[in-house]
């Protein structure tokens, strides 16, 4: 994210928290939402994570509601032909929208896929004015701090209880989230992640598609400065970017210092994908609040053979894997990475006149 966007967004978060604290303490009544509040919500919601930072979404103001639409032109036809990861990304944006709205002073009432599963309209969010809670303002702080750090984790173990707590938070948004604490199951899943990595690395079409989104544009894509160049001899496990730019390998023995979560659903389709994305976003914000770093993993779901094998490992009834997440600690004192860029609000928000 460039410095101008950083300053604007940080200012929006600070102003929202200050306004919210005044409202929460009763110093100001809940107010009707106007253009400024809609812009503020989208300015914050656009910080949601997305596959390759494609940001495949836009919002439409409709009366007192916000509509979240998928932007199919920002899809990944090779690695994501069904649009699973695209809609999961929209699910994360939907959760971010709800978090931002509640901090701004509006309770979000979500209608999923109001025009059906074949429509690009992902959700309609009815906004009802109310006083923001202390918890809502805390989540907004986490939203502003959240980012993807792909650097290797430290060897400091993540307690199983912490991973279980993240899984519980994710389940509140409609998907099943499994905290993988069983060592035998962990080994099997890690092997599937490594197999998926090898298969994708051997497909030049996927490598080309991934590399096309590195330094793609000033407003989207993944900055090359945030993509680590691991030494394979150090035994790193697979991450999201496993193209030729990253010589990432894995060990056959799981060290067990980081945490692993599997987000799954009973069914497969756009509604399940939205739930999976919202659940991932929810557990990610909580992890951020605990000082943990999260790296989403979708390789094992993108490759059919490993996806079916992973499905057989998951408990019923939520046996359809949607996305995985690795959780760990970053080294204290390590320098900050550049933030991934974001598209401007005026490009993302429709149905609202630009401020004079």
pLDDT at 165 over 80: yes
Contact 295, 227 (CB under 8 A): no
Q: What is the pLDDT of residue 97?
A: 98
Local structure of 293: helix, strand or coil: strand
Integer Cα distance of 205 and 86 in angstroms = 18
Contact 157, 327 (CB under 8 A): no
> Does 8 or 206 have the greater pLDDT score?
206
Domains of the chain as residue ranges with CATH? 3-148 (3.40.109.30), 160-328 (3.40.109.10)
**CA dist 332 to 143, 275, 283, 336, Å?**
21, 33, 22, 11
pLDDT in tens, 109-151: 999 999 999 999 999 999 999 989 999 999 999 999 998 888 8
Q: What is the pLDDT of residue 24?
A: 54
User: Strand locations in the chain, DSSP E?
Assistant: 57-62, 65-70, 106-112, 121-129, 176-179, 259-265, 293-297, 320-328, 349-350
pLDDT in tens, 56-82: 999 999 999 999 999 999 999 999 999
For range 86-109, the mean pLDDT = 97
Q: What is the 3-state secondary structure (H, E, C) of 135-189?
A: HHHHHHHHHHHCCCCCCCCCCCCCCHHHHHHHHHHHHCCCCEEEECCCHHHHHHH
Q: What is the pLDDT of residue 68?
A: 99
How many C-beta atoms lie closer than 10 Å to residue 176's C-beta?
Answer: 23
Q: What is the pLDDT of residue 32?
A: 76
Confidence of residue 352 (pLDDT cuts 50, 70, 90): confident
308: alpha, beta or left? (left if phi > 0; alpha if psi -120 to 50): alpha
| Count, residues in the chain | 356
**CA dist 141 to 49, 244, 249, Å?**
16, 36, 34
Handedness of CA 250, 87, 223, 289 (dihedral sign): negative
pLDDT in tens, 274-283: 999 999 999 9
pLDDT at 171 over 80: yes
Integer Cα distance of 133 and 61 in angstroms = 24
pLDDT in tens, 25-38: 444 545 678 999 99
pLDDT at 344 over 80: yes
Integer Cα distance of 325 and 148 in angstroms = 11
Tokens of 147: 């980012």
Integer Cα distance of 108 and 211 in angstroms = 37
Beta bridge partners of 76: none
List the single range of 102-106, 271-275, 295-299, 334-338 with lowest mean pLDDT: 334-338
Integer Cα distance of 103 and 11 in angstroms = 14
| Ordered strands of the 57-62 beta sheet | 106-112, 121-129, 65-70, 57-62, 349-350
Contact 92, 55 (CB under 8 A): no
Q: What is the pLDDT of residue 239?
A: 47
């Amino acid at each position: 994210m460039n410095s101008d966007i950083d300053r604007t967004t940080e200012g929006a978060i600070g102003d929202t928290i200050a306004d919210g604290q005044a409202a929460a303490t009763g110093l100001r009544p809940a107010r009707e939402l106007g253009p400024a509040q809609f812009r503020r919500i989208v300015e914050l919601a656009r910080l949601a994570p997305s596959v390759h930072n494609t940001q495949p979404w836009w919002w439409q103001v409709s009366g007192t509601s916000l509509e979240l639409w998928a932007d199919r032109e920002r899809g990944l036809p090779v690695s994501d032909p069904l649009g699973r990861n695209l809609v999961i990304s929209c699910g994360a944006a939907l959760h971010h929208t709800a978090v931002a709205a509640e901090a701004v002073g509006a309770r979000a009432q979500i209608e999923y896929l109001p025009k059906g599963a074949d429509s690009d309209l992902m959700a309609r969010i009815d906004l009802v004015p109310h006083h923001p809670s202390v918890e809502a303002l805390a989540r907004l702080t986490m939203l502003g701090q959240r980012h993807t750090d792909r650097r290797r984790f430290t060897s400091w173990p993540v307690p199983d209880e912490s991973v279980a707590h993240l899984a519980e938070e994710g389940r509140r948004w409609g998907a099943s989230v499994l905290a993988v604490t069983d060592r035998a199951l962990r080994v099997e899943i890690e092997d599937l992640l490594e197999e998926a990595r090898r298969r994708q690395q051997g497909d030049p079409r996927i490598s080309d598609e991934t590399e096309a989104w590195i330094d793609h544009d000033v407003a989207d894509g993944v900055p090359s400065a945030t993509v680590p160049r691991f030494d394979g001899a150090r035994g790193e496990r697979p991450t999201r970017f496993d193209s030729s730019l990253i010589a990432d390998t894995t060990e056959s023995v799981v060290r067990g210092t980081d945490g692993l979560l599997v987000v799954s659903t009973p069914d497969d389709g756009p509604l399940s994908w939205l739930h999976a994305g919202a659940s991932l976003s929810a557990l990610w914000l909580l992890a951020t609040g605990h000082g943990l770093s999260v790296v989403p993993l979708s390789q094992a779901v993108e490759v059919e053979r490993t996806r079916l094998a992973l499905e057989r490992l998951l408990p019923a009834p939520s046996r359809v894997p949607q996305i995985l997440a690795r959780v760990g600690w970053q080294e204290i004192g390590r320098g900050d990475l550049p933030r991934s860029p974001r598209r401007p609000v005026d490009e993302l928000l429709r149905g609202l006149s630009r401020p004079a």
